[in-house]
Amino acid sequence: MSADTNSQRRILSILVANRSGVLSRVSGLISRRGFNIESLSVGPTEDATLSRITVIMVTSDTAFEQLTKQLHKLIDVHKIVDLTDENAIERELVLIKVNAPAEQRSEIIEIANIFRAKVVDVGKAALTIEVTGDEAKIKGIEDLLRGFGIKETIRTGVIAISRG
């Protein structure tokens, strides 16, 4: 279903009941209808009875429309917003543990500073860097740090909010 030619990256923001099993219903539906989830994040909202699930995936227009309709059929789904074409604000937090022998530390810290990233831990041979940003920024710092040897990367998954 997701193999159409005009595939593009989509951001879907799904407001759901804050109830046990809901994440499983949503992610189960997405996977059994043949979609791959690139990123998924869940958290409570300003209303304690609701949670928000942000999903990133690559699909065609028709497949995406079908998926949205199927998601709407879940009783626990209250609202679905497609943030893809909204020029939405996108953020992801990433922790990167990078090889950093003493002689290379300052170079790595300089890169971190340029990306407004933070050094959150220093070990004998490694630095852990916390970086927040959209996809392009994360990819940018990752590319630069790769040369030093990335030991481990942990990402929260993308969250997004509309402008205005």
Partner 1 sequence: MGKAGKTVQSDEAAGGQLMSGAQAIVAALEAEGVELIFGYPGGQALQIYDALYDSQQIRHILARHEQGAVHEADGYARASGRTGVVVVTSGPGATNTVTGIATAYMDSVPLVVICGQVSSSVIGTDAFQESDITGITMPIVKHSYLLQDVADLPRTLREAFYLANSGRPGPVLIDVPSDIAAAELHFTYPDEVNMPSYKPTLKGNPRQIRQAASMITDATRPLIYAGGGIIASGASPELAELAELIQAPVVTTLLGKGAYPASSPLNLGMFGMHGSKYANYAVSAADLVIAVGARFSDRDTGRLASFAREANVVHIDIDPAEIGKNRASEVPIVGDAKGILAALSEQLRKLAHTPRTADWLAQIAIWQADHPFYHPGLATPTGSIAPEGVLDRLSELLDPAASIVTTEVGQHQMWAAQHIQRELPRSFLTSGGLGTMGYGLPAAIGAKLACPDKLVLCVAGDGSLQMNSQEMATAAVSGADVKVLLLNNSALGMVHQWQQLFYDKRYSASLLEDNPNFVKLAEAYSWTAQRVTQPEDVEAALQWLLASEGPALLEVRIDCDEDVFPMLAPGSPLDAVIGAVNIGALDDMIDGKDWCEQDDRQASAWMLAHRAAAKEEAK
User: Interaction with partner 1 in 81-140: which residues (CB under 8 A)?
Assistant: none
Nearer residue to partner 1 within complex by CB, 42 or 81 = 42
Could you tell me which stretch among 20-28, 113-121, 126-134, 139-147 binds partner 1 (CB under 8 A)?
20-28
Ramachandran sector of residue 149 (left: φ over 0; alpha: ψ -120 to 50; beta: rest): left
Q: How far is the CB of 89 from partner 1 (least distance, A)?
A: 24
Q: How far is the CB of 43 from partner 1 (least distance, A)?
A: 9
Cβ–Cβ < 8 Å for 124, 134: no
Cβ–Cβ < 8 Å for 94, 157: no
Could you tell me which stretch among 62-70, 85-93, 107-115, 149-157 binds partner 1 (CB under 8 A)?
62-70
Among 3, 5, 6, 73, binds partner 1 (CB under 8 A): 73
Nearer residue to partner 1 within complex by CB, 63 or 83 = 63
Among 5, 24, 103, 124, binds partner 1 (CB under 8 A): 24
Q: How far is the CB of 36 from partner 1 (least distance, A)?
A: 17
What are the residues facing 37 on neighbouring strands?
Answer: 57
Q: What is the dihedral of CA 98, 139, 63, 45, to 10 degrees?
A: 70
Does 5 contact partner 1 by CB under 8 A?
Answer: no
Cβ–Cβ < 8 Å for 59, 9: no
CA distance 133 to 55: 16
Q: Three-state SS for 29?
A: helix
29's tokens: 């539906």
List of residues contacting partner 1 (CB under 8 A): 17-25, 28-29, 32, 42, 44, 48-49, 51, 62, 65-66, 69-70, 72-78
